[in-house]
Each structure stands twice: as C-alpha cells, then as structure tokens.
Amino acid sequence: MIYRIFVIGILIFITAPGMAGEKRYRVEILVLSLLQHEAVPSDAEWLRDFSSSLDFLKVEDGEGTQDDELFDDDELYADEDQPEEPWADVIFVESMSDVMLEAWRRLRLSALFRPEQYLSWEQSADEPFPSLRIHDLEVIQMDDPYADLRGTDAVKAEEEDKTVVFTDRGNKLPGDSLEQAAEESAEEPELPEPTLFYRIDGTVMLRRLRFLHLDLDLELRQAVFDEQLLTPASSVNGESESGEPALPLPTSFLIHKLKQSRQVKSQRMEYFDSPVLGVLAWITSFELEDELEDEAESLSD
C-alpha cells in the first residue's frame, strides 16, 4: 500500500508539469505589416487558394475591412458551419490574452508597424495537427463559377414571392398543393459557396514532434488592373447589386510572402519577420485537470 502511494506521488509529481505542456495548447497569432519598406513584390497571374484549411474567420455579406478598433463583433466570429472532422477538438478562442492585448496596443501606437489580424484557438498536442486559415477582411477577388445560376435562382425567388394565380401555376390545377411544389424546390442541392481571396491570406500550423514547431505561409496581395482592358466581372446583367457597372477583373497580382517554419517555445513571444509581413506568436500550454485527476484515481483503486 505504501509502495502504491509512493508510485502515485512520483507519477503526479513527474507528469503534472510535463502534461501541462503536452495535453493542449492555446495559440495566439497576430499578423502585422511594416509601413515603411523597399521590398519588391513578386508578380503572379493567379492567387493561391487557402480555403481548404480550417477557417474561423468570416466576412459579413462578402465584404469588409479591418476597423481601427480591435475587433467588430459583427465581422469576426466562430464559423458554426465548420465540419467536425478531422479536427473536432480545435476550439476557436475569441478573447485576447493580456500579453497579446498589450502587443496590439503598442503596434497601433507605432509609426513603423500596423496590426492587421488576430487569430486564437486551442488544440490538442496530438495528431492530426490542424492547418488554420488566417486572413484579413478585405476581399480582392471572388471566384464564383455558379454566378449565372445564382442570378437565375434570385429571379426565381422573386417570382415565388409574387401572388400566385391560376395562370401562374403551369401544370398545377385548382386544388393542387403549393406546399408540395415548394418542398420539391427545396430539395434541390444548394450551390457551392464562391471562393474568396483576401488581401492578407494564408495558413498557420502548430506541430508537436520532439519540440514545438510553428509553420507560417502568408501572403500580402495587391490587385493590378489594366485600365485599357476593362473586363466586366461576372454578375447579373454586368451590373452590381447597386445598379452600377461591375468592377473590372484584376489582370495580375503583386505579392509579398512570409513562409517560415521553426521551433517555438510556450510562454515566450515569438517573432517571425519578413521585409513586409511579420507575425507575433504567443503559445500557452495547459493541462486538462479532469483527465489528470481521473488517471490518478484509477491508479489508486
């Protein structure tokens, strides 16, 4: 009995500090840009698509920009429609730690840097390691192969809202159920969402092998337009919702990149630097107290 108590005591003493760094991590990422630089961007005819990564950031109504305030609750929120697999244990964290809050405040007061976007989440220390998408709120291009079909659906929706008379029913006879027709229409599969490309876009991944590693792949994009070749964007009747002519499509893009991977430590501010983009990362390790208590109780039985 004394031996078992001694073993349990040693186990808790050894594993408690270690498990605090192995169970789960809270990761905070702050993307910043340098206001004064002489870096030459690369030129590209198309933009990389990062939409396959887990995205907790959304743009309301397909457009928006980062406000001068820290966050706008109407623009930044957890995506409830995200699939549970393969990273069901990844949790979106909306609040900033005091460390990151102070870093954001200092950057806003700086004449050299500008804070661009913030993302925080919790994840397990075990595989699979999630790849998360981090982007600002400024959409510079939208790829929508189903734009024409969406326009057709919008016209149908307007027609369905009109008062239905006998001549509007087509093959429907008096006494036929209109609810059945509505149900049949509702069974039609929804169109895929358009692919959005943001001014700042990329991915971040925290991996735990023997040591912690943080992988960053970010881009700062600027659309280039040819004023002599005004190609109308895909839209209904070539006009925007406001009735004004649609903006031309970009002919190319200027891109600044930050792609780095290196070892990081928890409870230490990590800085990833490039000529234009920078990233501050603050990682906090913690344990799940319930699991630790359950393991200790099972050994004592």
Q: 77-104, pLDDT tens digit by residue?
A: 444 454 455 567 899 999 999 999 999 9
Residue 76 and residue 166 in one domain = no
For the stretch 226-279, pLDDT in tens is: 776 554 554 434 454 545 555 678 899 999 999 999 999 999 999 999 999 999
Residue 48 and residue 124 in one domain = yes
Least reliable range by pLDDT among 155-169, 199-213, 221-235: 155-169
CA atoms within 13 A on the CB side of 85: 0
Residue 16 and residue 68 in one domain = yes
Please give the pLDDT value at position 137: 93
Residue 297 tokens read as 């109780």
Domain count, the chain: 2
Residue 92 and residue 164 in one domain = no
Residue 212 and residue 172 in one domain = no
Please give the pLDDT value at position 177: 54
Report the range out of 57-71, 207-221, 286-300 with the highest average pLDDT: 207-221
Residue 189 and residue 199 in one domain = no
Please give the pLDDT value at position 209: 86
Residue 52 and residue 158 in one domain = no
Residue 26 and residue 48 in one domain = yes
Residue 155 and residue 165 in one domain = yes
Which domain, by its residues, includes 210?
2-144+195-300
Is pTM beyond 0.85 here? no
- List Cβ neighbours of 215 (8 Å cut-off, separation of 6 or more): 203, 204, 205, 206, 207, 260, 261
